[in-house]
Amino acid sequence: MNTLEFHDLGEDFDAGLLEQAYRDVYLPAFPLRDEQEDPTIWTPRLLNPEGNPRLCFLVAGTRLDTPGAHAVRGLLVAEYYAASQCVLISYVATHPDARGQGLARRLFDVLGRRLDSGRFSRGQPVQAVFAEIHDPAQNDPDGDVLDPHTRLRIMAKLGGLRIPIDYLQPPLGPGQQAASGLWLIAFPAMAHRAPPLTAARVRRFLVEFYRELGSSTPETDPLYAATFASLDALARHDTVLDPLDVAA
Q: Name 134's bridge partners.
A: 182
Poorest-confidence range of 33-42, 103-112, 229-238?
A: 33-42
Average pLDDT of span 128-134: 96
Phi, psi of 162 (to 5 degrees): -85, 140
Q: What is the 8-class DSSP label of residue 181?
A: S
Phi, psi of 10 (to 5 degrees): -75, -20
**DSSP-derived secondary structure for 188-206:** GGGGTTSPPP-HHHHHHHH
Domain encompassing residue 113: 5-247
Measure Cα distances from 161 to 86, 135, 190 in Å: 16, 13, 12
Query: Which one, of 110, 60, 111, lies nearest residue 87 by Cα?
Result: 111
Helix (H, G, I), strand (E, B) or coil at 127: coil
Measure Cα distances from 35 to 31, 59, 108, 179 in Å: 8, 20, 21, 7
Question: Residue 36 — very low, low, confident or very high, per pLDDT cuts 50/70/90?
Answer: confident
Query: Which one, of 162, 179, 135, 147, lies nearest residue 37 by Cα?
Result: 179
pLDDT cut 90: percent of the chain above it? 70
User: What pLDDT score does 90 carry?
Assistant: 94
Average pLDDT of span 226-239: 96
CATH, residue 200: 3.40.630.30
Q: CB under 8 Å to 13, separation ≥6 — which residues?
A: 43, 46, 47
Query: Which amino acid belongs to residue 192?
Result: H
Query: Which one, of 64, 68, 58, 209, lies nearest residue 128 by Cα?
Result: 209
- pTM summary value: 0.92
Measure Cα distances from 136 to 28, 34, 109 in Å: 20, 18, 26
Phi, psi of 51 (to 5 degrees): -75, 170
Angle, helices 225-234 vs 199-212, to 10°: value is 160
For the stretch 217-229, what's the b/e string if a residue is b when 16 or more beta carbons lie within 10 angstroms of its beta carbon? ebeebeebeebbe
Query: What is the tally of structural domains in the chain?
Result: 1
pLDDT higher than threshold 50 for residue 246: no
pLDDT higher than threshold 90 for residue 33: no
Question: Residue 179 — very low, low, confident or very high, per pLDDT cuts 50/70/90?
Answer: confident
